[in-house]
Copies of this chain bind each other. A is one copy, B any other.
């Protein structure tokens, strides 16, 4: 049993929501498996139209959904309105991916008796993996929740989805699922294409269910690791795409700090406090030159920032605990009062923390642990050697940012050091705000994610839910359309080693 809580007051709101039972999980997963042939059997354009319908259904209910989301998350109507639009746009991107067709990687090799070894007719493509479990996050109640990118990309791949609702916004989750179910039903979908379940134990049962073939998760390192371990200890381990925690290092070069101290302080404070510091891409660890006076400038701006209440009691507790852990480290200093000066509900005061590079190197494990909420850690360095040593201790992250000047002699080595440990490298910008495009990558080495090859945002997120199959000498009428002679779908294909995009690539056609 659980109930939504108003983060502004701490009061319970909305109805009690029952946890899904183990029997129900079994039944839900079984229905998802039964729905897989229908979803996988849709042509690419048909599946694209279905996704477009889902995006439109969200837009059609925008006002209602945003109000529900604001009541349960306190993230504010403007931000939530933008997030809903972006969430609907994710469905549109995957519809575009399906119409493009390259995602299925159609590849044909003609028989070749002269090859080493010789071979007959081989044709490869990607096909849907099977039912996918999606674990919703608290901090993006649209974009990383029931209708989020994991759901959109799994459905795009042709995989039915079972979403484990985040208890931070259960009412919104239920209503979103209803709206999507309505659109699916109108499109003729059977039951089981998208189902919502509730409860922690239900989530574990979902990951262990034999019908589930992959898991997508966005959440805390602790919760993610526990579910990762469940997935890996199955008799038949399955892919687990988890986004866990990210410190998102930023480096400000000496030249940049000297040239643009106010601009950088503005940008950093704005990015770190966005959504009350509850972005997975929050710049949590910032290396600044000792001389530039940046910590004071950043602290001024953070002190003046409007910071809303945190999402849940657990996040509030985690933030207070994380700050305590940071401030126990010898040499670490808080630049502002707080966070005790909260103001009701899950409100906390923001914070800026500083340390010098020597302090950082002595306690890098604590100083590189993500503290989810409105705080950022500034580490001052005095030489490029010190900076290089410190960067060597930074763990895998979703993003890395460098602020540098034109022809900055420090830029190349920072780009190389950050590039070795992050999934997205930003130059003279800020990591919060994740565009939804063909070239986006939202992932990174552990602990940023559990699956360093994959992304949860952008066109290639679909690949997580596809597996290859090669057909050897299979007759035309038994082949999927994507692999037939003459390229009836008109998609990009690689034929006898040559990638062609004229829509005509194909043997005998």
A439 & B469 in contact (Cβ 8 Å cutoff): no
Query: Can you name the residue of chain B whose Cβ is closest to the Cβ of A225?
Result: B237
Please, could you name 20 A-B residue pairs with CB atoms under 8 Å apart, sorted by A?
A86-B117, A107-B459, A109-B437, A112-B437, A115-B437, A119-B435, A120-B435, A123-B439, A124-B439, A236-B396, A237-B450, A411-B478, A415-B474, A422-B469, A426-B474, A427-B474, A429-B472, A438-B497, A441-B469, A453-B466
Chain A positions within 8 Å of B, measured between CB atoms, are 82, 85-86, 88-89, 96, 100, 102, 105, 107-109, 112, 115-120, 122-124, 127, 129, 213, 228-229, 232, 236-239, 396, 406, 411-412, 415, 419, 422-429, 433, 435-441, 443, 445-447, 450-453, 455, 458-460, 463-464, 466-475, 478, 492, 494, 496-497, 499-501
**With A437-B115, A499-B102, A499-B492 known to touch, is A472 a contact of B120 (CB < 8 Å)?**
no
Task: Check B122 against A439 for contact (C-beta < 8 Å).
Answer: yes
When distances are taken between beta carbons in the complex, the residues of chain B under 8 Å from A85 are: 116-117
- What residue of chain B has the Cβ atom nearest to residue A473's Cβ? B427
Given B82, B424, B453, which contacts A117 in the complex, CB threshold below 8 Å?
Answer: B82
A85 CA to B118 CA, complexed, in Å: 11
Give chain B residues whose Cβ lies under 8 Å from the Cβ of A102.
Answer: 494, 499
**Closest B residue, CB atoms, query A464:** B453
Contact of A116 among B86, B440, B447, B501 (CB under 8 A): B86
List of 6 A-B pairs having minimum Cβ-Cβ separation, nearest first: A119-B435, A124-B439, A441-B470, A107-B439, A236-B446, A89-B116
User: Does B467 lie within 8 Å of A453, measured CB to CB?
Assistant: yes
Chain B residues near A123 (CB, 8 Å)? Answer: 439
- B469 adjacent to A425 (CB under 8 Å): yes
Taking A423-B468, A427-B474 as known contacts, 5 extra A-B pairs with beta carbons closer than 8 A to each other, sorted by chain A number, are: A89-B115, A96-B497, A100-B497, A438-B494, A453-B463
Instruction: Give the residue among A96, A425, A458 with the most B Cβ atoms within 10 A.
Output: A425
- Contact in complex: A472, B96 (CB < 8 Å): no
Tell me, in angstroms, the Cα distance from A455 to B469 when the chains sit together.
10
Bound Cα distance A255, B116 (Å):
34
Q: Could you tell me the distance between the alpha carbons of A89 and B499 in the complex, rounded to whole angstroms?
A: 21
How far, in whole Å, are A441 and B483 apart by their CA atoms in the complex?
15
Given contacts A122-B439, A237-B450, A501-B500, contact A424 B472 (CB under 8 A): yes
**Chain B: minimal CB distance from A229 (Å):** 8
Q: Once the chains are docked, how many angstroms separate the CA of A236 from the CA of B228?
A: 12
Do A441 and B115 contact each other (CB < 8 Å), given the known contacts A467-B453, A472-B426, A478-B411? no
Asked whether, in the complex, the Cβ of B109 is within 8 Å of the Cβ of A415, the reply is no
Tell me whether A435 and B117 are in contact (CB under 8 A): yes
Within the assembled complex, what's the spacing in Å between the Cα atoms of A467 and B129? Answer: 21
Contact residue among B433, B438, B443 (Cβ-Cβ distance under 8 Å from A109): B438
Partner of A469, one of B86, B89, B419, B472: B419
Whether A100 touches B499, Cβ cut-off 8 Å, given contacts A239-B453, A427-B473, A474-B425, is yes
A237 to chain B, nearest CB (A): 6
Neighbouring B residues of A468 by C-beta, 8 Å: 423, 441, 443, 453, 455, 460
**B472 contacts A423, CB within 8 Å?**
no
Chain B neighbourhood of A107, CB < 8 A: 438-439, 459
* Cα distance A239–B228 in the bound complex, in angstroms: 13
**Chain B contacts of A232 at CB under 8 A?**
228-229, 232, 237
Contacts of A122 in B (CB 8 A): 435, 437, 439-440
Rounded to whole Å, the gap between the CB of A482 and the closest CB of chain B is: 12
Q: Which residue of chain B has its CB nearest to the CB of A419? A: B469
Of the candidates B228, B422, B427, B435, the one whose C-beta lies within 8 Å of that of A237 is: B228
Contact A478 B435 (CB under 8 A): no
Select A425's contact among B228, B411, B470, beta carbons within 8 Å.
B470
- Nearest CB in chain B: distance from A252 CB, A: 16
A470 touching B439 in the complex, CB below 8 Å, given contacts A429-B120, A433-B117, A452-B129 = yes
- Say yes or no: B475 contacts A427, CB within 8 Å: yes
> In the complex, which of the residues B96, B429, B458 contacts A473, with contact meaning CB atoms closer than 8 Å?
B429
Kindly report which residue of chain B lies nearest to residue A449, judged by CB atoms.
Answer: B467
Across the interface, A452 reaches (CB within 8 A) one of B109, B239, B433, namely B239
Q: Which residues of B contact A443 (CB under 8 A)?
A: 467-468
Contacts of A459 in B (CB 8 A): 107
- Which residues from B are CB-within-8-Å of A441? 124, 468-470
